[in-house]
Structure 1
């Protein structure tokens, strides 16, 4: 019989009474979801971002990521995931009304490409802010290529309610610790446990075992994948090629060794990276006459360039970098970044997945979370790489406390604890959505064919379809389903208004510029190097 860990058991026991009494509220979450625009044949769209969607520089909910063709949707924050998904669905419906025969690609690995230049870099207008966003993307092209930047994913943002933080602080007997300091430290506890166990999410929800051959224009066939159909590479064991060395990778960033032991370490490491030049980037050059090739030649141009499967976040003010916001006011929420788009979910993510992730994140928070040594950090990276490449291999072994253990055995132990955490969260609900989500996902542990990656491989094998053809067919089905469902009327009016408002805001920003771009950029990086550490009195807290 599996026994709960002592730390988790104690914390759950002390939280059950307050949960039953509704002394704290639900988790809060928002969803960011990317999706390539493609033509009817499945090729990446070469058209500009539709004007009818508003300004991608200023619209709060519809923008672009790297490419002009890579849509990005951002929902508001909600206490119920179903509400976030409803908003996300309406963003898709609104978009389809502006697309002239184009489709939203329903997968993380990109559609048909035609070389690096077929991925258009997003243009954000003539303002200094817009120019900075564009030049940053030019730098990404120079460093990693545009093809890598055509990959899409889902980012899941979660925060705990203030009343729960107050309760946890009391239960941990940390009343003398300023709330901002306590909250940030506990969020980093969560992040470290996430890093230790994110392989489980990659196995359960990884959805990219295949890719179009145009993603690798040199014609190579990497280890672990095989040709399928006319233009597909497919793996029988991979869970998320998006998260593999074929997808997001940065060998230069590997030296940063960010394992999230403290807020100060995280901030100082990023500040070092945006202030330290790198020889290869210096050799490429920052400017070619009046044309900018990259923002600078440093390890990171800006903090957003750091790739990670999870990030601590704080909404930044207009004069702050992300790290300065964290440094000044602490962690506000966390951003989960390792989620593939699920082709079998109309929106790329569904309520079951959100409820499971909520449970998983709460488990990460309530479980014991010692600091991560350099040696453990390397083992965690190895575990993640193994699951990304071979997670559906029944013979796969992972490193658990330096001992080899089967993925399924370790996952079963985690699920036993997740069930208890789900029961706690369900005390805040009318039904048992978290428990039902854990139960719904559990069969995947014994049957890799039930995972999104397994389902996609099975479809391609059964039909003989190429990856691109299957995704076009799914995209058409999803477009029809979305357009057949009416939008929320008030939200439709809101989105209509935001089109005009966002274009006007971009125009206002462009007219308000008072200096040239070089001066603007110099001022930005001078401010970015400043420390924003505040004392407890500065934060309005008791010393």
Structure 2
């Protein structure tokens, strides 16, 4: 394997790791089809908002032709996850009788082509699309694909320029452009390799009989999505000749605009201005026209992206084309790609030997320089596909053809995808490393098409409109001091008490001896004994009847095993409610219910618990946890004369735990409309004092219908304040209307630009 000057410098400076730091953005197109596989004629879903302003979901040529767009992201798996999340949101907003087509080739089309609806996002776009119809007809424009936007690590380019290549180029921009042109030229020259490995359209569609035998890729052939005029070819000799050649074709009327150039590699600037490519340099290139892979939920596998990254790195480090041969070489390469695209995928390719040779080079390159262990098996598999063409993607898809149609196969894949996404109602595919709160926020942002940044998945931090948001609720709009103390229950109570907010009386102890010294003060009183710093419902003891000395002692011991301090609080009589706050206003109120099951007169307690656990079925990152019968639960049930084998009478409630922590299995009812306004006003006043923009108050109220009376201290007692409450509690109540708190948080951050 021969390295050129750039390759040798990367090797000498040990810059190999930076080769894998490229940024990838994906654009995946997909047709909306009816459950029968016929192209949909319905409007773009209104629930997804304005497609012109949406950053992630737009329409392409057809009204049914959605386009999913990710921002540039480092890491193939990360960008696939992002695309997965966008597609989940889009799928969940489809009508029940629609799916997303899973092939680049066309679905069933209406016999009357005039019934194929053209997207009309605005007048300018509609006029442009109609001009395309006159040149290409509607069918060609309906082919879908995956576009890959690629940019190298700037650190890599800067390191190369600084260490060596400033001596050979007049400016950094000139060198920057050279790098991208070099990779782009080689990708165009070797486009046949991608067509062979990833071609996935063996037939046109069942309505068309223009192809008698299967091919590798109709989409990438002369019959597919390509410029119909063979003379349309950009010059890749330099960025100047590239821009000039395209401008000339527009002036001559061969192209309507730069957008009509369907070349395999297109150079892009951030501001989308062609002249900027010369003055400011290439920001990235777009590798267009990859067939949609129906065996991947998102239309492209992470391994495919990693292979293209490897291929780009290889082309960067190995000799370039001779400048005076570039255009002729690429013209011949286009002709070769057309030939490969039209080959029968079941037969060996004319490029078999060249493919095996190039893959051997790539295997060596990966082992010596690129060092991506995950690609080793893939590269061997790709090589085998040249020896055994029946293993290739297009051949495998062709095996699914029935009566010259792929409708059954495509719709089966579509059904699998839709069922999967519909099963993810309480989580966001691709962002499972984030908390359930953050997933709800991210899903809302993707649906609305609003930009955000993923700051840190370990810390569960994202950025919206310049604002940091942690756990979906902790934002930089909150009081910083409150964020520090909310996890310390005793300190929080002291702070609340200092601003005349009523809290339960209690004490914090550090040892059993200290707790026993306090016992005389609480004799005969109902108590809660719980850890001060650690959240653990399994050691929290609720004594609704005053504990005996031994019960009290054992509860303190258990808590000291998990925490350095123990809180001893007197129980407050009343029902517990959570007031959810956004923008300092109450946005929802739920009643927190004790952990319990209701009997049906037939099942035992154990069977009822198993039944409830099956219904919970929530992620461990969410607020709901499985019910367990441990020591605290058994003691609670024992006071009611209940054991695991007890059959609970129909309609009778068995209390498993008296506390109403969600992580202990508690449930909730939405009661916003029933809560007296006086309590809402009081809680909003508390939020103002504490400078809480987003958060929650857990309070005890004896009767939600009777107005607050300041003369009675127990009219409202604050148990705790949360700056990171679970949003799903309001979003998925057992009874009552759900309150989509995630939307309120997004709206708050949007109107408060940083």
Q: Same-fold call, TM > 0.5?
A: yes
2:275 counterpart (317, 324, 337): 324
Alpha carbons 2:19, 2:152 under 8 Å: kept: no
Q: Distance in 2 between matches of 1:35 and 1:473?
A: 15
1:207 counterpart (200, 204, 227): 200
Give CA-to-partner distance per residue, 1:167-193, whole Å, 9 cap, x none: 333565334531111111221111111
In the TM superposition, residue 493 of structure 1 has moved relative to its aligned partner by 2.2
2:150 corresponds to 1:158: yes
2:113 aligns to what?
Answer: 116
2:259 counterpart (304, 309, 322): 304
Q: Distance in 2 between matches of 1:374 and 1:360?
A: 21
Inter-CA distance 23–259: structure 2 relative to 1 (3 Å threshold): closer
In the TM superposition, residue 260 of structure 1 has moved relative to its aligned partner by 1.0
Inter-CA distance 454–492: structure 2 relative to 1 (3 Å threshold): farther
In the TM superposition, residue 457 of structure 1 has moved relative to its aligned partner by 1.0
* Number of residue pairs matched by the alignment: 437
1:421 aligns to what?
Answer: 365
Q: Which structure has the larger Rg over C-alpha atoms?
A: 2
Alpha carbons 1:66, 1:122 under 8 Å: kept: yes
Inter-CA distance 425–77: structure 2 relative to 1 (3 Å threshold): farther
Q: Distance in 2 between matches of 1:179 and 1:59?
A: 34
Alpha carbons 2:105, 2:219 under 8 Å: kept: yes
Secondary structure, in 3 states, of the residue corresponding to 2:195?
Answer: helix
1:520 aligns to what?
Answer: none
2:336 corresponds to 1:336: no
In the TM superposition, residue 19 of structure 1 has moved relative to its aligned partner by 4.0
In the TM superposition, residue 451 of structure 1 has moved relative to its aligned partner by 1.5
2:34 corresponds to 1:39: yes
Q: Distance in 2 between matches of 1:299 and 1:464?
A: 39
Alpha carbons 2:25, 2:149 under 8 Å: kept: yes
Alpha carbons 1:12, 1:421 under 8 Å: kept: no
Alpha carbons 2:346, 2:395 under 8 Å: kept: no
Give CA-to-partner distance per residue, 1:233-252, whole Å, 9 cap, x none: x51xx211011122123333
Alpha carbons 1:24, 1:163 under 8 Å: kept: no
2:297 aligns to what?
Answer: 346
* RMSD after superposition: 2.4
2:422 counterpart (483, 490, 501): 483
1:26 aligns to what?
Answer: 21
2:102 aligns to what?
Answer: 106
1:459 counterpart (400, 404, 408): 400
Q: Distance in 1 between matches of 2:397 and 2:217?
A: 12
Alpha carbons 1:109, 1:151 under 8 Å: kept: yes
Secondary structure, in 3 states, of the residue corresponding to 1:86?
Answer: helix
Alignment of 1:237-386 (within 5 A): 238-252=215-229, 254-276=230-252, 298-316=253-271, 321-369=272-320, 370-371=322-323, 372-386=325-339
Alpha carbons 2:136, 2:228 under 8 Å: kept: no
Give CA-to-partner distance per residue, 1:339-366, whole Å, 9 cap, x none: 1001111111011111111111112222
Inter-CA distance 185–14: structure 2 relative to 1 (3 Å threshold): closer
Higher strand share: 2
Alpha carbons 1:119, 1:150 under 8 Å: kept: no
Alpha carbons 1:122, 1:134 under 8 Å: kept: yes
Alignment of 1:183-202 (within 5 A): 183-202=176-195
- Unaligned ranges ≥5, structure 1: 125-129, 227-233, 277-297, 398-406, 503-543
2:2 aligns to what?
Answer: 5
In the TM superposition, residue 498 of structure 1 has moved relative to its aligned partner by 5.6
In the TM superposition, residue 381 of structure 1 has moved relative to its aligned partner by 1.9
In the TM superposition, residue 432 of structure 1 has moved relative to its aligned partner by 1.7
Of structures 1 and 2, the one with the larger relative CO (CA 8 A, separation 6+) is 1
Give CA-to-partner distance per residue, 1:58-101, whole Å, 9 cap, x none: 11111111111001001121111111111111111111211112
Alpha carbons 2:198, 2:290 under 8 Å: kept: yes
In the TM superposition, residue 449 of structure 1 has moved relative to its aligned partner by 1.4
In the TM superposition, residue 274 of structure 1 has moved relative to its aligned partner by 2.3
Alignment of 1:375-524 (within 5 A): 375-390=328-343, 392=345, 394=347, 396-397=349-350, 407-423=351-367, 426-427=370-371, 432-460=373-401, 466-485=405-424, 486-487=427-428, 488=431, 489=436, 490-497=438-445, 499-500=447-448
Alpha carbons 1:106, 1:341 under 8 Å: kept: yes
Higher helix share: 1
Alpha carbons 2:263, 2:288 under 8 Å: kept: yes
TM-score normalised by structure 2 residue count = 0.55
Alpha carbons 2:149, 2:285 under 8 Å: kept: yes
